[in-house]
Structure 1
Amino acid sequence: MSDWTDKRPMSPHTSIWKWHLTMASSILHRVTGVGNYLGIFIVVAWLFATAVGPDYYEPMSAVVGSIWGQLILFGFSLSISYHLLNGIRHLMMDTGTGYKPKFASFTAGLVMILAIALAVGIWILSGLVPGVDPLNMTGAV
């Protein structure tokens, strides 16, 4: 700080701030926004490969079907779920409610838990979890 010659005040650095749930929620909302932007390119590439034909679909399907591809897709599902639910939380806050610190922390934590539950639920209900067929889509009795 001894190098600071500007007369204006210096912005505090994140290392001196006390981390709390609402701060993490705000940062995570921004990160998931960027993640959703990048993740959509994977989905578009997958759809493009499906539309073009088997020469493109088979290699893309192998990548998406790999363990890394599945982890990336699950992360994308989690990112979309979090961003959606936190966006709803922000819409609620736009009405002027939810700004009290305890309630804001509660809703931030709730959104994180519900986002995980939503992403896992989507994967289970869509049959993307190996060995799980909750809607009996395979026709087994």
Structure 2
Amino acid sequence: MADGKRVERPLSPFMIGPYYRPQLTSITSILTRITGNGLIVGVVLVVWWLLAAAAGPEYFATADAFVTSWFGDLIFTLSAWALWYHYLAGLRHLIWDSGRGLEIGTAETLGWIVVVGSVVLTLITIFIV
């Protein structure tokens, strides 16, 4: 700074493109937050279905028709994936909190385990249920 020349640098790591290349660890971190918030949708749907069951047969028929429709199935399938993903990502963060797995290679391996593991566990859940 003594010579008065200012170096042009990006202002934010979210300037995807020529300045910043998304990494698996950053994408999985963002997905952890998204799945945590997305789980609310599945919970609201279950609560609506239970409240409708308690409210009476006509309310339950409406809620049950929605819950058992293709869109309800899609929401519950995505909720199952989000639940597994969020769980495995939480385990990964627990490992990181213990001071292990912080090397770049190990962190990327754990990221792939979270992604692939959540898909596999979701498929197992679908076939069992």
Q: TM-score range by the shorter chain?
A: 0.7 to 0.9
2:66 is matched with which residue?
63
1:20 is matched with which residue?
23
Q: Return 5+ residue gaps in structure 2 as ranges.
A: 1-9
Conservation of the 8 A alpha-carbon contact between 2:45 and 2:67: no
Measured in 2, the distance between the counterparts of 1:58 and 1:38 equals 20
Conservation of the 8 A alpha-carbon contact between 2:24 and 2:108: yes
Matched, 1:113 2:119: no
Q: Return 5+ residue gaps in structure 1 as ranges.
A: 1-8, 127-141
SS of 2:102 mapped into structure 1: coil
How many angstroms does 1:104 deviate by?
0.4
Structure 1's 112 and 13: CA in aligned 2 closer, same or farther, altered over 3 A? closer
Measured in 1, the distance between the counterparts of 2:92 and 2:62 equals 40
CA RMSD of aligned residues (A): 1.5
1:101 is matched with which residue?
104
How many angstroms does 1:34 deviate by?
1.0
Which stretches of structure 1, 4 residues or more, deviate above 3 A after TM superposition? 9-13
State the TM-score, normalizing by the size of structure 1.
Answer: 0.77
| Larger RCO (alpha carbons 8 Å, 6+ apart) | 2
